[in-house]
Amino acid sequence: MILRVENLSKIYRNGAIDVAALRDVEFSVNIGEFVSIMGQSGSGKSTLMNILGCLDSLSAGKYLLDGEDVSLIKGKKLAQIRNQKIGFVFQSYNLLPRLNALQNVELPMLYGGVRRKKRRAAALEALERVGLAGRVHHKPSELSGGQKQRVAIARALINSPAILLADEPTGNLDSRSGEEIMEIFQRLNREGVTIVMVTHEPEIANHTNRIVAFKDGRIISDEPVENPIQAGS
Amino acid sequence: MNIFESITSAVYSVLANRMRSVLTMLGIIIGISAVIMITSVGQGLQTGMSEIFADFGAGTMTVNMRNNPANPATRRDRLTLESAEFIAEHPDVAVVSVASGSNARVQLRNPTETTSLTIIGADENFRQAQNVDVRFGRFLATLDVDRSAPVVVIDSTLARDIFGRTDVVGETIRVTFWFGTVDLTVIGVFRNNDPMAGMFGMATTAFIPITHFQRLFNTDNMVDQLLVISEDLDRLDSIATEVTRLLSLFHGNEDRYQVTVLMSQIDMINDVLGMITGFVALVALVSLAVGGIGVMNIMLVTVTERTREIGIRKSLGATDGNIRFQFLVEAMILTLSGGIIGIILGYYGGFALGGLLDLSPAVSIPTVILTVAASSLVGIIAGVYPAHKAAKLDPIEALRYE
């Protein structure tokens, strides 16, 4: 098991009223799984994703990542976990506009203290893995949406994280580019990468092996996908 | 992330907003260049002052009679050649010279033209009291004084004005005093070293034997001033007091003589100049502080503008420390490069200003080090708060920032 949350709650204070975004969520992900989290907006799926990505704190419960209770970790150590254990892919890519593809992909290694030469080699390899070997010196503004997202995936993969988290990775893309991204995810998953992906599109979710559905901050169903759609076939 | 990478990344950020960076640096540039310019000119002024006084021997003190309108001086109080001889007896006194001065006019090459000059009646010791740089002929000798010879030692500028050349030993000059005209034979030509003389259009100087001066002015054996030299430089002030006491004893009066130690004068003038320079530099430092506020302001804007970038970096594993350092380095690069540009501008500005004032400015290494340190410090101070603000941003909030 790579990831496990127990009795997870997240409560936002909105003035005098407490709003629970997540209530007593329990679920776990095994190594090698490709899980999609579904739900309408406001269902708490993005909140869960931010907590899983160690970007947000939880109000109650436990979050075990790679055997470690990260709900107790703060500061520098937490930054290290974000750096080493988690690869995050955002809906809006979140590339740094002033850096080229290669430099963007290098960033996590930069913060991981990896030397320049090694960093460069790893970044090139990661870009090759997502099919962007010919675009390494392009700035994000010179890339298409699908290409930008592939750079973001390469960046998420570079430190070989325990888990790849993707928050609506196809949300800003046309269906063809989205299909390409799913193809990459499926390939990475076959190569052993554990992926948790948030989406609200059933079509996209059907590319994964398991669907966890959220409503009002609770899990309403958690079922395997019988015959996942194979992207690109 | 190592320091070199942080610096490179910060340089790129600074260059990405070139216009803004230059404008931000301007405050620092003005502050630093003003400090450098002012201190270098101040230094040049002090050096210039020291050069003027260097014409006098280190242990020279001057003795003048104090004028007190309530208790006017009598003939008995006047300094004379005898007072000089009496003081010369003192074991701490090496040499005593005398001087009396008067304004006069001298005829130039063109007979209808004259120029003013200062005639100083002196003795053979005067050369020791004030470094007279004789180029041709000789200075006044004992024999000239004993015989009250009608001879003169003139300044090379005057020689050129009168004769069109400087080697004029043996020539005669015609000097007009208020009471009449006198011919004097040139026995020596000296070079005037006083850098201020030309600047203020000061009259040139000529030396004649004190005895001849006394005869011309009919002043018996009186002199205006004594020049006392002591070799005991550490005790000049107490020797000055002793000289005052002895003169009062000799003349049978009280509190009549003013003894001025030139070395203390130099120190005093330098102290005053140093204070003025320091004060003006302080004012310039205020502008540096204002420049620092400008840097802080821009850094705050930069942090706000780059909120999303900070969120992205944090989501990729940047620690608070990484973020803080990044912005701190950026602020420091702004102020430090502003400082370096300021030093260069101040250096040349100092020379330009020094050229106008006819003195040679000097930029001291400690000043440069100090200003570099000051601009770095301004950078750190101006950067700390914005950098802290950036470091403490919540990654989720920062990522949502549009």
**Residues of chain A with C-beta less than 8 angstroms from the C-beta of B313:** 96, 107, 111
Mutate one of A46, A54, A55 to test the B interface: name it (highest B CB count within 10 A): A55
A111 inside domain: yes
What pLDDT is attached to residue B198? 43
Residue B197 confidence (pLDDT) above 90: no
Name the nearest CA neighbour of B223 among B101, B66, B72.
Answer: B101
| Span B39-46, average pLDDT | 84
pTM of the model: 0.72
Q: Are B316 and A50 a contacting pair at CB < 8 A?
A: no
* B18-54 helix and B365-391 helix, angle to the nearest 10 degrees: 150
| Span B84-113, average pLDDT | 87
CB nearest B396 (choices: A50, A84, A113): A50
Measured between CA atoms, the residue of chain B closest to residue A81 is B317
Q: Is residue A83 very low, low, confident or very high in pLDDT (cuts 50, 70, 90)?
A: very high
| Span A198-219, average pLDDT | 90
Mutate one of B315, B324, B330, B402 to test the A interface: name it (highest A CB count within 10 A): B315
A216 inside domain: yes
Those of residues 317-346 in B touching chain A at CB distance below 8 A are: 317-322
pLDDT digits (tens, 9 = 90+) for B320-347: 999 999 999 999 898 889 999 999 999 9
Q: Considering its fold, how many domains does chain A have in total? A: 1
Those of residues 353-372 in B touching chain A at CB distance below 8 A are: none
What pLDDT is attached to residue A233? 67
Rounded to an integer, what distance in angstroms lies between the CA atom of residue A141 and that of residue A84? 28
What pLDDT is attached to residue B138? 92
Name the nearest CA neighbour of B315 among A94, A10, A104, A222.
Answer: A94
Q: Are A107 and B320 a contacting pair at CB < 8 A?
A: no
Distance from CA of A83 to the nearest CA of B (A): 4
Q: How far is CA B149 from the centre of its chain?
A: 40
Strand B95-107, strand B172-177: pairing: antiparallel
Residue B68 confidence (pLDDT) above 80: no
Q: Is residue B13 very low, low, confident or very high in pLDDT (cuts 50, 70, 90)?
A: confident
| Span A175-202, average pLDDT | 91
Q: Are B396 and A80 a contacting pair at CB < 8 A?
A: no
pLDDT digits (tens, 9 = 90+) for A93-102: 999 988 899 9
CB nearest B319 (choices: A79, A116, A155): A79
Higher-confidence position of A121 and B55: A121
CATH number for the domain spanning A113: value is 3.40.50.300
**Residues of chain A with C-beta less than 8 angstroms from the C-beta of B1:** 110-111, 113
Residue A195 confidence (pLDDT) above 90: yes
Residue A73 confidence (pLDDT) above 90: no
Residues in A lying within 8 Å of B, measured between beta carbons? 50, 53, 55-56, 75-76, 79-80, 82-84, 88, 90, 94-96, 98, 107-108, 110-113, 116, 155, 159
| Percent with pLDDT over 90 in chain B | 27
Tell me the residue range of the domain where A120 lies.
33-59+75-224
Those of residues 373-402 in B touching chain A at CB distance below 8 A are: 395-396, 399
| Span B36-50, average pLDDT | 82
Higher-confidence position of A182 and B268: A182
A179 inside domain: yes
Residue B196 confidence (pLDDT) above 50: no
CB nearest A111 (choices: B309, B311, B316): B316
- B101 in A contact zone (CB under 8 Å): no
| Span A78-106, average pLDDT | 91
Sign of CA dihedral B104, B110, B111, B112: negative
Rounded to an integer, what distance in angstroms lies between the CA atom of residue B397 and that of residue B273? 57
What pLDDT is attached to residue A166? 93
What pLDDT is attached to residue B364? 81
Measured between CA atoms, the residue of chain B closest to residue A156 is B316
Q: Which of A28-42, A118-132, B40-54 has the lowest mean pLDDT?
A: B40-54
What pLDDT is attached to residue B144? 92
A43 inside domain: yes
In eight-state DSSP terms, residue A200 is S
Instruction: Count other C-beta atoms under 10 Å from residue B241's C-beta.
Output: 12
Residue A43 confidence (pLDDT) above 90: no
What pLDDT is attached to residue B374? 85
Q: Are A94 and B315 a contacting pair at CB < 8 A?
A: yes
pLDDT digits (tens, 9 = 90+) for B287-307: 888 888 989 999 999 999 999
Name the nearest CA neighbour of B126 among B159, B98, B168.
Answer: B98
Mutate one of A85, A89, A98 to test the B interface: name it (highest B CB count within 10 A): A98
- B306 in A contact zone (CB under 8 Å): no
A54 inside domain: yes
Q: Are B317 and A75 a contacting pair at CB < 8 A?
A: no
Measured between CA atoms, the residue of chain A closest to residue B306 is A96
Q: Are B396 and A90 a contacting pair at CB < 8 A?
A: no
Rounded to an integer, what distance in angstroms lies between the CA atom of residue B271 and that of residue B104? 36
Q: Is residue A230 very low, low, confident or very high in pLDDT (cuts 50, 70, 90)?
A: confident
What pLDDT is attached to residue A42? 80
What pLDDT is attached to residue B386? 94
Q: Are B316 and A107 a contacting pair at CB < 8 A?
A: yes
Instruction: Count other C-beta atoms under 10 Å from residue A141's C-beta.
Output: 9
CB nearest B316 (choices: A76, A83, A113): A83
CA dihedral B36, B37, B43, B44 (to 10 degrees): 150
- Long-range contacts made by residues B143-148, C-beta under 8 angstroms, separation at least 24? B144/B187, B144/B209, B144/B212, B145/B209, B145/B210, B145/B211, B146/B211, B147/B209, B147/B211, B148/B209, B148/B211, B148/B212, B148/B214, B148/B215
What pLDDT is attached to residue B341? 93
Q: Are B313 and A111 a contacting pair at CB < 8 A?
A: yes
A3 inside domain: no
